[in-house]
Amino acid sequence: MGSHAHAHDNIDWPSKLAELRRADRLSAPARAEVAAKLIDDGVRTVIDMGSGSGGWAASFAEALRTSGASGATLVLVDAVPELLAAAEQSVRAAAGSEVEVVAVHGDAASPELAGQLPPADLVWASHVVHHLPDEQQGVRNLAASLAEGGRLALAEGGLAPRFLNTIGLGEPGLQQRLDIAKTQWFVSMRAEMAGSVQLNVGWSSVLRDAGLTDVTAFSYLLDRPAPLSEDDRHTVLSRVRWLRDTTEGWCSAEDTALLDRLLDPADEVYLGGRADLFWLQANTVHLARRPVA
């Protein structure tokens, strides 16, 4: 059984740990702002659903420490044991002695999820629910993990990353065409999931249908202007490599060939040799509250 068998999307997440940690470093300033925005005086228990490499959980641990919340608990949940172990190790360093860290091997697709977890003041799920076969049921499972008055925060959607203003090769609009091809790949990936259910409404409706109230949203930017650090440059290259692999067959052969050139260190147009790479992305967080009975 492959290491990716723990995930509904059949993606080999353990093999992506180094990439995930680089992406964590790129997003660190934005994560700190979002965590501070969501942690208030009433938040003592936070669940990070699909904790991945631990970047978001580390930011929440730091925000809980800064808030001075006594008796704070941070619960890491992931369906992939290798990621859960890696996240726990890094988050404990950020939490120190002020915040209790609990690691739970759990699946957001499971109706029994809430029984594995303490009632939470905040449940955070960043780009997790769209990897579940039944997204609406997944949100219901997350909502069931909330304490009365607790909030669910779903980071889903926004604007895809941009990393290069002009290439000067091929037909104009490469990144826009890749967005379309990536969407086609994503629809195909979801269709291949066992038990996949198509979602036909937006996230605000999904939250309301889960019985939650006070539905709002905000967006945050990941803004790294040129010139990028070597670490962030690798993140751009990893993203382009992923786009090349996932969009092959969904975009033209000419675009795939161009991506191969952009990823070839021996080619004069190699992206890794450009000083004008940047990263600009907008992510949206959808918020809702469990009513107080």
Which pLDDT tens digit goes with each residue over 119-175?
Answer: 999 999 999 999 999 999 999 999 999 999 999 999 999 999 999 888 888 899 999
pLDDT tens by residue, 246-275 = 999 999 999 999 999 999 999 999 999 999
Q: What is the pLDDT of residue 232?
A: 95
Q: What is the pLDDT of residue 5?
A: 40
Return mean pLDDT, the chain: 92
Distance between CA 199 and CA 202 in Å, rounded?
8
Residue 236 has pLDDT above 90, yes or no: yes
The amino acid sitting at 262 is: L
Distance between CA 37 and CA 186 in Å, rounded?
31
Distance between CA 215 and CA 260 in Å, rounded?
43
Q: What is the pLDDT of residue 168?
A: 84
Residue 1 has pLDDT above 60, yes or no: no
| Sheet containing 213-224: order of strands | 99-105, 72-78, 45-49, 120-126, 146-162, 279-289, 213-224
What does the buried/exposed string (b/e) look like for 44-63 if buried means 16 or more CB atoms within 10 Å of the residue's CB? bbbbbbbbbbbbbbbbbbbb
Q: What is the pLDDT of residue 76?
A: 97
Residue 6 has pLDDT above 60, yes or no: no
The amino acid sitting at 186 is: F
Q: Over pLDDT 90: what percentage of the chain?
A: 81
Residue 15 has pLDDT above 90, yes or no: no
196: which 2 tokens? 């996949």
What's this model's pTM, rounded to 2 decimal places? 0.92
The amino acid sitting at 1 is: M
Residue 7 has pLDDT above 80, yes or no: no
**Angle 81-95/17-38 helices, nearest 10 degrees?**
50
- The CATH number corresponding to 3-289 among 3.20.20.70, 3.40.50.150, 3.40.50.10490, 3.90.1150.10 equals 3.40.50.150
Residue 4 has pLDDT above 60, yes or no: no
Tally of CB atoms within 10 A around 12: 14
pLDDT tens by residue, 48-85 = 999 999 999 999 999 999 887 778 999 999 999 999 99
Q: What is the pLDDT of residue 49?
A: 96
Residue 10 has pLDDT above 70, yes or no: no
